[in-house]
């Protein structure tokens, strides 16, 4: 990974994002991009998580979280916070938390 910049961000997605395979699709997309982190449903009927990896791939993930989601989802708003550069990844994989 020499020369690649690693970064991290937290996200929360609002809309119709529970019960529509949003978490599973988020995991699949993140893994395909080589990202690590996690995703889970909240009691607020949103989906939240953390994504870490190469900056370029994180930009793709952000776009996916804002515009695509799963087939039957409806994304009203995507909030990103705690965006930062990291020297090491804190996770080994991208998992669905319960």
Residue 31 belongs to some domain of the structure = yes
**Catalytic annotation on 23?**
yes
Catalytic residue among 23, 25, 72, 97: 23
Write out the residue range of the structural domain in which residue 32 sits: 20-83
What's the pLDDT at 4?
82
Given pLDDT bands bounded at 50, 70 and 90, which one contains residue 1? very low
pLDDT tops 60 at residue 18: yes
pLDDT tops 60 at residue 2: no
Residue 98 belongs to some domain of the structure = no
| Phi, psi (rounded to 5 degrees) for 56 | -60, -45
* pLDDT tens track for 19-43: 999 999 999 999 999 999 999 999 9
Mean pLDDT along residues 49-59: 98
Inter-residue contact 50 to 8 (CB < 8 Å): yes
Residue 11 belongs to some domain of the structure = no
Residue 10 belongs to some domain of the structure = no
Residue 48 belongs to some domain of the structure = yes
Residue 46 belongs to some domain of the structure = yes
User: Which comes out higher in pLDDT, residue 31 or 1?
Assistant: 31
Domain count, the chain: 1
pLDDT tops 90 at residue 11: yes
Residue 38 belongs to some domain of the structure = yes
Catalytic residue among 41, 74, 77, 82: 41
Half-sphere exposure of 37 (CA within 13 A, CB side): 28
Looking up residue 33, the CATH number of its domain turns out to be: 3.30.70.100
Given pLDDT bands bounded at 50, 70 and 90, which one contains residue 3? low
Residue 3 belongs to some domain of the structure = no
């Amino acid at each position: 990974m020499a020369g690649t910049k690693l970064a991290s961000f937290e996200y929360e997605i609002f809309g119709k994002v529970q019960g529509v395979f949003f978490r599973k699709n988020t995991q699949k997309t993140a893994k395909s991009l080589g990202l690590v982190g996690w995703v889970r449903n909240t009691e607020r009927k949103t989906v939240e998580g953390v994504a870490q990896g190469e900056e370029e791939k994180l930009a793709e993930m952000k776009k996916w979280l804002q515009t695509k989601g799963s087939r039957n989802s409806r994304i009203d708003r995507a909030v990103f916070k705690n965006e930062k550069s990291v020297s090491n990844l804190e996770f080994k994989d991208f998992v669905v938390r319960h």
